[in-house]
Structure 1
Amino acid sequence: MNPPGPFIDLQVNGYAGLDFNADEITLDEVVRVGQRLADDAVEKVLVTLITAPLETMIRRISRWCEILDQLDGDASLSRFHVFAGFHIEGPFISPVDGYVGAHPREAVRPAGLDAAGRLVDAACGRIRLLTLAPEQDTGGVVTRWLTDQGITVAAGHSDASLDQLKASIDSGLRMYTHLGNGCPAQLPRHDNIIQRVLHLSDQLAISFIADGHHIPCMSLANYLRCVPSRNVIIVTDAISAAGLGPGRYPLGDQTVEVDQDGAAWSADRTHFAGSAATMPSMYATLHDRLGVEQQELQHWMRANPARMIGDE
């Protein structure tokens, strides 16, 4: 069965050999990857830039803005322009082992208006989504300010308490990024970040990486039963390895190894570092292994993510 497409993917760190977090990116590379994404029935993606020293993040955002301006200005390239803006994942996340995930701990920082403002200014209005840890945003000040700028704020890489999550929702929090990941492999059995977010799933959109590795299908099926369909979003969290098979690939300043099963591992093999999957392969996992119907998948893989970035 052919996937319904088109898809909208809110979390793409790279694709088809191009690391979106690289310091040197060319227009030709972006056009090539845009074609590959379009071939995979992807209508729009958010270029996801992860935690790095603030000046590095600003430099990478600025370079991407130059390229996106070129795409905007050349009608002949419009069919390759699937890049709908930025998802900034970090640097305002938890520095604690497990929760920090594949992000460089030394570049993590508490949320602050000055740093947030510099990121927003560098992006020239193109940030659509920003992931932070609510416990790093004292009083929800940055969440509220970003929301006022029209930016969707998601929690993620976080061990926020239930009260901190509720307070963040009051400040404008709308989403949780890749639930079940960005947290330690071992958690308290009852009170943990997964249970807290599921408890609030009527108030938050929740994204899941449905590659069969980040969350085992049995667990993913359980999570999906807990979340209202209108709040389910499927993301790839794709890296440069997406669609290329086993091997070693870059992700920012680190190297990721994709094994024979298609799982993308950090160099020390302690945690996953992005995904090598594509939206069509995740569609197949959800449909064939979990029995999710096509109409529901269209909501999870297009309509719901579109709503999060105001592209309904």
Structure 2
Amino acid sequence: MEGIHYRTSEPISVYVKNGLIESIKPLTGEGERSLPFIGPGLVDLQINGYLGMDFNTDPLQKATVERITRALWSEGVTSYYPTIITNSDEAIEAAMSAIAGACKESPDTERGVAGIHLEGPFISPDDGPRGAHARRYVKPPEWSLFERWQEAAEGRIQIVTLSPEWPEAPDFIAKCKASGVVVSIGHTAAAEEQIREAVAAGAAMSTHLGNGAHVMLPRHPNYIWEQLANDELWTCLIADGFHLPESFLKVAVKAKGNKTMLVSDAVSLSGMPAGEYDLHIGGKVVLTSEGKLHLADNPKILAGSAQMPIWGIAHLAAKQIVPLAEAWDMASVRPSAFMGVPSAQGMNAGAPADLVQFEWDGERIRILKSYKQGKEVYGNER
């Protein structure tokens, strides 16, 4: 395939063999022919649903997982972590089993689902930090219960978001780390010392930092400052232009540097047309033509994210918070590197040929083609 390297801006030819990048060579003699950009496939650590489909529907159907996996190719997402949020013990177990079953039955799903993200129920019960999670299901971390869910998932739970305010948290975090599961701090009302104890025990990431928080906080100290200041924590941001102001995005990027990552945290209405909807989580909501999703009776309260990673990449680049290449890395190579998956190699020989061809007009990104292990899985006319 041919295109403009997303980092160097040089025309290149990418040669693929057996699902891997065999070589990348300069493309010469092209004159003025217009070429698309080529970048590594996007990796989203937190997706709740897409195109009206929701991983948190009870019961979750295996076919839904497969359909979402294939649909995400149109957004340049070649690997992702379906996210299961706070629910009853039985509903979480059933969702884990459904995702595992979908992966076993569909090779495309197996290749696309890099792991499962369990967001809750071990989070803060407080209004504000709890977000839209159901209060009646929130509980302290319990290792035996987690083992039950991990068994249902057949070992696929790779990320757990929790609040370290629970006394049981440090021991639970240490057990997760020993078993190879990433612990992320989120939906928390934890004190600063509790966050430090969590990091010492093995917590390594912040879930959508700046969101899932109290409306009012002490100016300092508080749990957002503490996570920003902790050099051990990688940080995930929702950069859709609605969840976080530009000032916060700038500060977070400066504080975290190469440990800054983008997530969509997209709900089922991502990819859907503007209009009014009735969600099983959130109730009556409005998706505006500008892309903002809010409660129908209060436009000031967000009802989740309705945008995919390319939206966040475009927002960061258009507002000149970071260059396009860095924003793309924040949603591809960095999450891959953090999770230790092969696509961390990016666009280099020997890396998986998970690639995306796209256009960038300075404001918006348009996906033209997506490739999974060298196979074209989505195509769009220029």
Instruction: Say if 2:317 is the partner of 1:287.
Output: yes
Correspondence for 2:250? 221
Query: Identity rate of aligned residues, in percent?
Result: 33
CA distance in 1, matches of 2:165, 2:60: 34
2:268 aligned to which of 240, 259, 281: 240
Correspondence for 1:187? 217
Structure 1 residues 238 and 256, CA, compared in 2 at 3 Å: closer, same or farther? farther
CA distance in 1, matches of 2:254, 2:273: 31
1:207 aligned to which of 209, 230, 236: 236
CA distance in 2, matches of 1:250, 1:125: 34
**How many Å apart are 1:187 and its aligned residue?**
1.2
Contact 1:93 1:157 (8 Å CA) reproduced: yes
CA distance in 1, matches of 2:283, 2:80: 23
CA distance in 1, matches of 2:143, 2:339: 22
**How many Å apart are 1:266 and its aligned residue?**
4.6
Correspondence for 2:93? 58
Alignment of 1:153-172 (within 5 A): 153-172=183-202
CA distance in 2, matches of 1:265, 1:80: 33
**How many Å apart are 1:46 and its aligned residue?**
0.2
Secondary structure, counterpart of 1:9 in structure 2: strand
Structure 1, unmatched stretches of 5+, are: 73-77
Contact 1:175 1:205 (8 Å CA) reproduced: yes
**How many Å apart are 1:171 and its aligned residue?**
0.9
Instruction: Say if 2:121 is the partner of 1:121.
Output: no
Structure 1 residues 180 and 306, CA, compared in 2 at 3 Å: closer, same or farther? same
Instruction: Say if 2:283 is the partner of 1:255.
Output: yes
Correspondence for 2:305? 275
Correspondence for 1:173? 203
Alignment coverage as a number of residue pairs: 305
2:161 aligned to which of 115, 131, 139: 131
CA distance in 1, matches of 2:181, 2:95: 19
CA distance in 1, matches of 2:40, 2:272: 21
CA distance in 2, matches of 1:267, 1:103: 18
1:308 aligned to which of 333, 338, 346: 338
CA-to-aligned-CA distance 1:207-249 (integer Å, 9 cap, x gap) = 00000101012322222222122x1010000011112132345
Correspondence for 1:75? none
**How many Å apart are 1:36 and its aligned residue?**
2.1
Structure 2, unmatched stretches of 5+, are: 1-35, 345-382
Structure 1 residues 303 and 256, CA, compared in 2 at 3 Å: closer, same or farther? farther
CA distance in 1, matches of 2:195, 2:63: 42
Contact 1:34 1:80 (8 Å CA) reproduced: no
CA distance in 2, matches of 1:234, 1:218: 16
Contact 2:123 2:139 (8 Å CA) reproduced: yes
| Structure with the larger strand share | 2
Structure 1 residues 39 and 139, CA, compared in 2 at 3 Å: closer, same or farther? closer
Task: Return the letter of the residue paired with 2:112.
Answer: V
Secondary structure, counterpart of 1:257 in structure 2: strand
TM-score under structure 2 length normalisation: 0.75
Secondary structure, counterpart of 1:227 in structure 2: helix
CA distance in 1, matches of 2:77, 2:160: 21
Instruction: Say if 2:73 is the partner of 1:38.
Output: yes
Secondary structure, counterpart of 1:84 in structure 2: coil
Contact 2:65 2:109 (8 Å CA) reproduced: no
Contact 1:87 1:128 (8 Å CA) reproduced: yes
CA-to-aligned-CA distance 1:102-126 (integer Å, 9 cap, x gap) = 1001110011222222222221110
Contact 1:245 1:262 (8 Å CA) reproduced: no
1:87 aligned to which of 99, 113, 117: 117
Correspondence for 1:71? 106
Instruction: Say if 2:48 is the partner of 1:13.
Output: yes
Secondary structure, counterpart of 2:84 in structure 1: strand
Secondary structure, counterpart of 1:128 in structure 2: strand
**Superposition RMSD in Å:** 2.1
